[in-house]
Amino acid sequence: MQFAVLYNLITLIDQKMKKIFICILLLVLFCFPTLVNAQLIQNRDRLGDMERMLEMQRQLTSKGKTNIWTYLQKNMPSDEKQALRFLYAYMPLSDMADYTPSFMQMNVKYALRARSELPWGKNIPEDVFLHFVLPLRINNENLDSFREVMYQELKERVKGLSMKDAALEVNHWCHQKVTYRGTDARTSAPLSAVKKSFGRCGEESTFAVTALRTVGIPARQVYTPRWAHSDDNHAWVEVWIDGKWYFMGACEPDPELNMGWFAEPATRAMLVHTRAYGRYFGSENVVTVADRFSELNLTANYAPVKKVNVWVKDEKGLLVDSAKVEFGLYNYAEYYPIATRYTVNGKTDLTVGLGELLLWASYKGKFGYAKLSVPATDSLVLTLKNTFLNNLTENYFMVPPKVGKVTVSATADEIKHNSQRLLQEDSIRHAYMSTFKDSVWAASLATRLGLDHAVVKEAIAKSYGNWSDISEYLEKGTAISRKYVLAFLKQLSDKDFSDASASVLLSQLASAVEEKKKTAPIDEDLFVKYVLAPRLANENLSPWRKFLLEAFSPVFLKQTRNDILVLKNWITQNILVDNVANMHSRTPLSPEGVFRLKVADKQSRDLFFVAACRSFGIPARINQATLEPEYFRNEQWLGMSFDASKVEEPTSKGKLHFVNGDNLVEPQYYLHFTIGKLRNGSYKTLEFDEGKRISEFPEEIELEAGYYALVTGNRQSDGSVLSSMSYFKVSADSLTNLKVELVRQTDGLKASGKLNPKQLQLQAVGSSNIHTLGELAKDASTVLVIIDPDKEPSKHIMNDLAPYREALTKTGTHFVFVTSEQKAGGLNILKTYDLPDNYVVGIDLKDNILSSVMDEYGIVMKDKLPLVLFLDKEGNVYYFSSGYRIGVGEQLLRTIRQSENELPCNKAKQSCTTP
């Protein structure tokens, strides 16, 4: 009730009754204060913090052109206004800059509608609703109108179901729409994921969380930032059901909650976390407390954990306050900081899994570091005594946490029924995918437009469900500029083809071509890559070129082309840099958003500079190694520094030459090695292309002079890592030779088990013929892969083999992929992967092959697919991997080559014996 209503009632009764009524009213208000002006947000601490943050946001954006603050004064229902104010109080800069208040209000309406119309809505506590239902932002995705578009469809899907069954049903709906496929780090919007029908785990979980929140089920994206036992990371979903959080695989439905292929790997996690929108007042362990979000530590829900205390001291033994402590976990050939803490009175702490980390403390250019074995250590002291290191190599043997036990609550019948549903959902998704345009259609389009067939076919193939936008771009773009319509397209990322709109692409092309007519001629390749290209880094594409050309005057454009300082000074004077206010979104502001809001984080400011340069016809880029902005002038790339009083002059440069050491496989960047430059007391990894082999690097790499570190890693089949860190210096105007040699295991190959290839039977796909594994292997070594073709871990295995296809083929080793009779229909997916030439596909009859492996390695293996085994011709197993793992292709190649040296029987016709 509102006070105005009460007052009107009181005026209608006589004086005596009025006194009685007021006494009763006061008694009710005293006993039940929430009955007065009952509102969405009751927590007084939260209300106070909201007002503090709203004022901070107002001040932060005071120089910008935004209607946010006047919009919040509009008349609207009280709950709607409170919810909208909550969102804006904690909103990251990117969302304030690039989305309108009306868009945010529309989504608030749907969140409140779900709260009102779904039966569980009224039972969701205030804090859970605000953190895990109301917010749109999940990851770094482009926000869209998913709730408005899909609300009714999802509401009908869960009609009559309990909250638990509704959560499971929404996940089935998600699987019907989207399946797993690896993509780049930019997260597609939920509706874009539906359009293309696939996404990586971060996109699947963003999509599933959005769908669950759409029907009022609290949900959150849960991450392990990096695995300890394998390269890569993973994201999944937690749902709040009747007062408790449960996990599920995103777009990977199981018959029960707390089930998923990742459940066992998660028992080996060092850190599992999630982000709560806004300041968190709950009871869960908090890793990071920030004004606009809180990062919650959920590791204890999945794995054994321990709290470790870290003390940081200077060389005199005095405690150092505000020292930065990075908890580095080996992954992808670097010690990735899974958490960063700052000391208070010289101390910090973190609750982590029972593995090993490399801790690195830094303060004012000095640093100290040490390996941390969590099971054996309660407290660790780091001493800040180094300003640089040189000519030093240190080896580390890093051990991940042990595998924990996972229980499955579903019955065999429930699992079987669920598998049948998955197949049905696959068929629905495949029917939609069959509407995507094929190469014949693309060739017809290319012929009609007179364009290169190969380029058009590739573009349409990458567009998936977005083919109409890409074909519209090609048709209209050809009219704008036949010369540049395809050159422009080649500058896009693969993901752009599946989610970029024709309007954005056409706007970019038209503006670039038109402006080219007004600027001095430059090298054609330079123009295409660094002026025409609409992609700046890994941001969401937008029509920034047309916007900036209209936002700045012709006089300003002319002055900037003559002197880049004009643009630099404008940015310095007009754009406030705040590196905290956009941390929550993890996505940069668009260049238009930077211009409008007049405040940005450093990355968005730098992208704005590059976008403005390209708009004005000046070649510019983000240096992929240093991630700093550069522009091209006087036949050289120059760095742009916004911290100095003038344009940064060319820095002192030296050259680096990689030397391949004695390695079984050629080292690849981000798989076997990385290099990092010392900056402010810690080493920052240089962003060279992932998977780039040493032989693919230039003979001499130009780098800034300074101190560097080489990290190498040799991942073992049990998940442990033989790692090294070598510190070196790149001197100005000189060449540094850097030997990259992986630490090797000193023990020779040993068989971990034995199978009998002559007894294991499989049926060839598309045939009734039955063969033994020995017959298919033709008396040679074999890689046996037992897969579940529908599951993400098995798809990872196929992806892992692709980079080594040629090398694996040359070994002469036979590859045999098998699955159960129930899953045989999914084996066609293998045709979409780049597998070694000498592979065959078969059906494991009555699971005889799986049973044989289970007899050797344990019955639990049936739940740990994929299983990968390398066998010699007699069936001795020299490599065994179970479950989710990244890097199996490289590990197999290394093992096969080692076997050629140690087991000559693999090439000769003689008996193999276990060393």
Scored b (16 or more CB within 10 A) or e, 85-109 reads bbbbbbbbbbbbbbbebebbbebbb
Residues 520-548 have a mean pLDDT of: 95
Q: What's the CA gap between 147 and 211, in Å, rounded? A: 8
Residues 404-420 have a mean pLDDT of: 91
Residue 134 DSSP symbol: S
Residues 216 and 120: beta-carbon distance below 8 Å = yes
Going by pLDDT thresholds of 50, 70 and 90, the confidence category of residue 17 is low
pLDDT value at residue 775: 87
pLDDT value at residue 830: 87
Residues 818-826 have a mean pLDDT of: 88
Q: What's the CA gap between 615 and 592, in Å, rounded? A: 12
Residue with tokens 């599946």: 498
Q: What are phi and psi of 240, to 5 degrees?
A: -95, 115
pLDDT value at residue 272: 97
Residue 386 DSSP symbol: B
Q: What's the CA gap between 82 and 89, in Å, rounded? A: 10
Query: What pLDDT digit, counting tens, does each position of 148-175 carry?
Result: 999 999 999 999 999 999 999 999 999 9
Alpha helices (runs of H) in 786-837, residue ranges in sequence order: 792-801, 805-810
pLDDT above 60 (res 648):
no
Query: What pLDDT digit, counting tens, does each position of 28-75 carry?
Result: 434 444 444 458 999 999 999 999 999 999 999 999 999 999 999 999
Query: What pLDDT digit, counting tens, does each position of 341-380 carry?
Result: 999 999 999 999 999 999 999 999 999 999 999 999 999 9
Q: Which of 480, 397, 459, 449 is nearest to 723 (CA)?
A: 397
The listed range with the strongest mean pLDDT (17-21, 442-446, 841-845) is 442-446
Residues 445-456 have a mean pLDDT of: 97
Q: Which of 875, 60, 857 is nearest to 867 (CA)?
A: 857
Residue 491 DSSP symbol: T
Query: What pLDDT digit, counting tens, does each position of 216-230 carry?
Result: 999 999 999 999 999
If one counts every other C-beta atom within 10 angstroms of the C-beta of residue 688, the result is 16
Residues 299 and 272: beta-carbon distance below 8 Å = yes
Residues 886-898 have a mean pLDDT of: 90
Taking phi first (over 0 means left), then psi (-120 to 50 degrees means alpha), and beta for anything else, what does residue 480 get?
Answer: alpha
Query: What pLDDT digit, counting tens, does each position of 663-686 carry?
Result: 989 999 999 999 999 999 999 999
Full DSSP string of 58-109:
HHHTTTS---HHHHTTS---HHHHHHHHHHHHS--HHHHHHS-HHHHHHHHH
Scored b (16 or more CB within 10 A) or e, 218-227 reads bbbbbbbbbb
Share of the chain above pLDDT 70, in %: 94
If one counts every other C-beta atom within 10 angstroms of the C-beta of residue 12, the result is 8
User: 3-class SS at 252?
Assistant: strand
If one counts every other C-beta atom within 10 angstroms of the C-beta of residue 526, the result is 12
Token couple for 5: 């209503």
Q: How far apart are the first and last CA of the chain?
A: 83
pLDDT value at residue 25: 41
pLDDT value at residue 31: 47
pLDDT value at residue 903: 63
Q: Which of 117, 92, 121, 87 is nearest to 102 (CA)?
A: 87
pLDDT value at residue 913: 44
Residues 874-882 have a mean pLDDT of: 92
Residues paired with 868 in a beta bridge: 785, 881
pLDDT above 70 (res 907):
no
Residues 285 and 300: beta-carbon distance below 8 Å = yes
Query: What pLDDT digit, counting tens, does each position of 102-155 carry?
Result: 999 999 999 999 999 999 999 999 999 999 999 999 999 999 999 999 999 999
Residues 431-435 have a mean pLDDT of: 96
User: 3-class SS at 689?
Assistant: coil
Residues paired with 326 in a beta bridge: 340, 360
Q: What's the CA gap between 405 and 116, in Å, rounded? A: 41
Going by pLDDT thresholds of 50, 70 and 90, the confidence category of residue 649 is low
Cβ-count burial of 152 within 10 angstroms (0-12 exposed, 13-18 middle, 19+ buried)?
exposed
pLDDT value at residue 15: 52
Q: What's the CA gap between 168 and 583, in Å, rounded? A: 32
Residue with tokens 């100005």: 732
On average, the pLDDT of the chain sits at: 91
pLDDT above 80 (res 331):
yes
Residues 569-596 have a mean pLDDT of: 94
Query: What pLDDT digit, counting tens, does each position of 694-743 carry?
Result: 999 999 999 999 999 999 999 998 899 999 999 999 999 999 999 999 99
Residues 822 and 789: beta-carbon distance below 8 Å = no
pLDDT value at residue 832: 85
Share of the chain above pLDDT 90, in %: 79
pLDDT above 80 (res 27):
no
pLDDT value at residue 154: 98
Residues 425-429 have a mean pLDDT of: 95
The residue among 10 and 319 whose pLDDT is bigger is 319
H-helix or E-strand spanning residue 679? strand 673-679
pLDDT value at residue 34: 40
Query: What percent helix, strand, coil does the chain show, rounded to 5?
Result: 40, 25, 35
pLDDT value at residue 627: 87
